Amino acid sequence: MEQYIGTTERWLLTPVVLMFLALIIYFLLRKIGWKVRAATGFALISPWLIGFIIFTAFPLIYSLYLSFTNYSLFGTPKWIGLKNYIYIFTSDYEFWPSVRLTLLYAVFTVPIGVIGSLLIAMLLNNRIKGIGVFRTIYYLPAVMPDVAVALIWRWLFNSQSGLINYALSPFLKLFHIGKIDWFGDPKYVLWAFIIMSVWGIFGTNTVVFLAGLQGVPRSLYEVADLDGASPWIKFWNITIPQISPVILLQVVMGIISALQIFTVAMFVRPTTGAGIFMNQLIYNRGFTQLHMGQASAIAWVLFLIILAFTLLVFKSTPAWVHYEGEIKR
């Protein structure tokens, strides 16, 4: 019982402290001449600002600092310059394979996910009887917890008696291949994860695309019909430009989440030899082997990769993203 009480007390105290801080901020701002509404607004967002400074801004800078140190959680960090980076780039046998696996995973799953869920959304956008049932079914994978998803697939891919090897067995016999060890063999690990992600991706993205498709004005299609446009032309000249902002959002969110795959991978646990993702490597380095410096360096490499990809996508938007009316902000 006492394990709950202590936390509950501190949990109750926190908003009181935050409110107190907000009040102090409010009066300070009033003192320097801010209007009532301005000071109120700033006081209202102050909890986020405080959380941001303590738990995001400071840790971000501190982890950059740690990446230049040797630190094992005990004692004090020792400055070693670029040694962590040099080590992971040149002599770390786990680093490059994890970068490769993570990048390939994103490169395959993001386009498959975006294109696939768009096609599915177009199927579901038909007004036919029973479509509601199909929509519910298609959304189910998105409701499943990562843990359950990972375990189901680990079992489906099981080399001894998994359903997938069973379904493939005629082909395997044909080519004289033994049962595939999906999560144990570096050759297949990537494909297993990609197949898994395709299943999980149906839900959320499809729903978003569906809403996007329903937001396209019908009049555009009617005008095109009068001109005798083929479905193909309508797709490329009306549907795609109209939903391009939704596609942009999906691509960006897809990249960010694909590069950060963690929980599912931890529960699937491909044997280390078969390859692990960058986030798993960060976790292992930091909290299993206690090389906090190296872990921070890998985390920063991941951060820069995500940043580079996202900026690249945003840079490309003028070429293909179409905003109705004016360019927003």
Asked whether 60 and 49 are in contact (CB, 8 A), the reply is no
CB atoms within 10 A of CB 202: 20
Q: Does 289 bind another protein (CB under 8 A)?
A: no
Cα separation of 180 and 276, whole Å? 18
Please tell me the count of residues contacting another protein according to CB under 8 A.
Answer: 104
Is residue 171 part of the contact set for another protein (CB under 8 A)? Answer: no
User: Quick check: 256 binds another protein (CB under 8 A)?
Assistant: yes
Select the residue interacting with another protein from 86, 143, 233, 312 (CB under 8 A). 143
Distance between CA atoms of 72 and 31, rounded to whole angstroms? Answer: 46
- Direct distance between the N- and C-terminal alpha carbons of the chain, in angstroms, rounded to an integer: 53
Shortest CB 71 distance to another protein, Å: 9
Tell me if 194 contacts another protein by CB under 8 A: no
- Chain positions 77 to 116 lying near another protein, rule: CB under 8 A, are none
* Three-class SS state of 321: coil
| Single residue of 106, 118, 156, 192 touching another protein by CB under 8 A | 156
How far is C-alpha 310 from the chain's CA centre?
12
Residues 221-240 that bind another protein (CB under 8 A): none
- Contact between 125 and another protein (CB under 8 A)? no
**Structure-block tokens of residue 317:** 């938007």
String of DSSP letters for 27-39: HHHHHTT--HHHH
Site for another protein in 297-326 (CB under 8 A): 299-300, 302-303, 306-307, 310
Nearer to another protein, 156 or 189 (CB): 156
Name the segment binding another protein (CB under 8 A); options: 104-112, 132-140, 220-228, 233-241.
132-140
In whole angstroms, how close is the CB of 3 to another protein at the nearest point? 6
Residue 128 in tokens: 């036919």
Does position 14 interact with another protein (CB under 8 A)? The reply is yes
For residue 315, give both structure tokens: 């840079």
Is residue 216 a contact residue for another protein (CB under 8 A)?
A: no
Q: In angstroms, rounded to a whole number, what is the distance separating the alpha carbons of residues 323 and 245?
A: 7
The interface region with another protein, picked from 48-56, 92-100, 107-115, 221-229 by CB under 8 A, is 48-56
Q: Which of 189, 200, 187, 195 is nearest to 149 (CA)?
A: 200
Q: How far is the CB of 187 from another protein (least distance, A)?
A: 20
CB-side neighbour CA atoms (13 Å) of 320: 14
Which range binds another protein by CB under 8 A, 58-66, 83-91, 106-114, 221-229?
Answer: 58-66
Nearer to another protein, 144 or 238 (CB): 144
The residue within the footprint of another protein, chosen from 11, 79, 96, 236 (CB under 8 A), is 11
Q: Does 3 bind another protein (CB under 8 A)?
A: yes
Could you say whether residue 120 binds another protein (CB under 8 A)? yes
- Distance CA(76)–CA(61), nearest Å, equals 17
Residue 287 Cα to chain centre, angstroms:
22
